[in-house]
Structure 1
Amino acid sequence: MSDHGAAQERALDAAESLFYRRGIQAVGMDAVRNASGVSLKRLYQLFPSKEALVLAFLQRRDERWRQALAHHVEAHPAPDERILAVFDWLHTWFSEPDFRGCAFINSFGELGGISPGVAEQAMLHKRAFREYLAALVTAAGRPADLADHVALLAEGAMVTAAITGSPGPARQARSAARLLMGAS
């Protein structure tokens, strides 16, 4: 990896950790500099503004989040199991010691009203997640509207788990998804 790429990765790693743990508005570029070891001048060469850094963080997080989910889900051979595996993966994520909710929901809550770029990134992430669920539902031969229900269950579980600090909402949402699948 080039020096440019290494500095960019260190800055994004630091930004992701800080933004996710403390919130975007609470973290200044100085904190990212201190945590990454990338000089402030270099940081601004890589990311001309804090918003550019935030958008890069969200884009990378989206890619990694969706890849991790797909990797887990696709390990299950049966189509119905894949739908339910989404909730198993959410449970594992919610159980992580540093879980603080969905970065996209958090970012939208902080900046969605004043940053069209952040609002767009959150919308794109949620749309991609919904489309992924729709593909799972279609592959299972289930009615298309089940995808909307599963998406709402997953999104509700994310918010509830973040607020309560418990992974339990993933299990509850999984049970509800199983009931919906039985009814369809």
Structure 2
Amino acid sequence: MSDLKKAKQKPRRGAPRKSEPNARVRILKTATELFYRDGIQVTGVDTLAARTGVSKTSLYRTFESKDALIAAVLSGQDREYWAWWDRIIASAAANPRAQLKAILTAIGRHTGTSAYRGCPFINAAVELADTNHPGHARVVANKLELKRRLTDFCRQLGARNSARLGSRLAMLVNGAYATGPITGTSHIESDLVAAAFSIIENALHDDGAASG
């Protein structure tokens, strides 16, 4: 390999050019990709620095620790997830049943893509055994927001105990996220939608019988 080619491949240190993202953006992008693809614990700071093209000193100036970087990655993934969710909801008809079906279908479809390697929040929960880790709070916040949004759908559909029903749906969705890559995804879209609405219809029927 020529010296010129080697020079071209060598990561460039220092401030980025005007058209390039800054170090924080580059570090976050690289960490998000590697944490999701390879795992949080397996991906070391040396690897992150080398792949990002920054020194370890620069990385630690930007994030005080790997734990802080993990928390920042999870926060970014959380924002992206709810932005994706909102886009799906906005594309559906303006009624809760259609919107719930749309998001469940999208979730099922997402778990069937070749790039899907599990829910990043469930993956992180497994890797971050310490509940005091700053990333753990981001995982909990994401799953609580999932339950809250599903509960709101149940309330709009007329469920008397919408919190209990929302909790059941959250368990179903998290189960799909966790088992999709393991057990296969050929029917996951239709099965997820059918299972969710079966749970909802049974709950609404029980509510009606109780009030009758």
TM-score, normalised on structure 1?
Answer: 0.89
Partner of residue 111, structure 1: 128
| Residue from 18, 22, 39 that aligns with 1:6 | 22
Please point out which of 177, 180, 193 is paired with 1:174: 193
| Partner SS, residue 84 of structure 2 | helix
Q: Please identify, of 114-123 and 9-18, the stretch whose mean Cα deviation from structure 2 is larger.
A: 114-123
Q: Does 1:140 align with 2:150?
A: no
1:32 matches 2:51: no
**Alignment check: 8 A CA contact 1:20 1:103 kept:** yes
| 2:63 counterpart of 1:44 | no
Which segment is superposed worse, 94-103 or 165-174? 165-174
**How far did residue 11 of structure 1 move?**
0.6
Q: Percent identity?
A: 27
Which residue matches 1:162?
A: 181
2:181 partner letter: A
More moved, 164-173 vs 12-21: 164-173
CA RMSD of aligned residues (A): 2.1
Deviation at 1:71, TM superposition (A): 1.2
Following TM superposition, the consecutive aligned residue runs of length 4 or more in structure 1 with deviations greater than 4 angstroms are 2-5
Q: CA deviation at 1:127?
A: 0.4
SS in 2 for 1:74: helix
1:38-85 deviations in whole A, cap 9, x for unaligned?
322211111111001000000110110111012102321221111122
Letter in 2 for 1:104: F
Q: 1:48 to 1:63 in 2, by over 3 A?
A: same
Could you say if the C-alpha distance between residues 117 and 168 of structure 1 is closer, same or farther in structure 2, counting changes exceeding 3 Å?
Answer: farther
Distance in 1 (CA, whole Å) between partners of 2:52 and 2:187 is 34
Q: Secondary structure at the match of 1:181?
A: helix
Q: Which has the higher contact order (CA 8 A, sep 6+)?
A: 1
Q: Which structure 2 segments of 5+ residues have no match?
A: 1-14, 205-212
Contact 2:109 2:188 in 1 (8 A): no
The Cα of 1:120 is off from its aligned counterpart by: 1.6
Distance in structure 2 (CA, Å) of the matches to 1:14 and 1:172: 34
Does the CA contact (< 8 Å) of 1:108 and 1:122 recur in 2?
Answer: yes
The 3 A distance-change label for structure 1 pair 96 and 9 is farther
CA contact (8 A) 1:24 1:110 kept: yes
Unaligned runs of 5+ in 1: none
- Give 3-state SS (helix, strand or coil) of 2:101's partner: helix
Q: Find the counterpart in structure 1 of residue 84 from structure 2.
A: 68
Q: CA deviation at 1:130?
A: 0.9
Q: 2 CA distance for matches of 1:11 and 1:71?
A: 27
Number of aligned pairs?
183
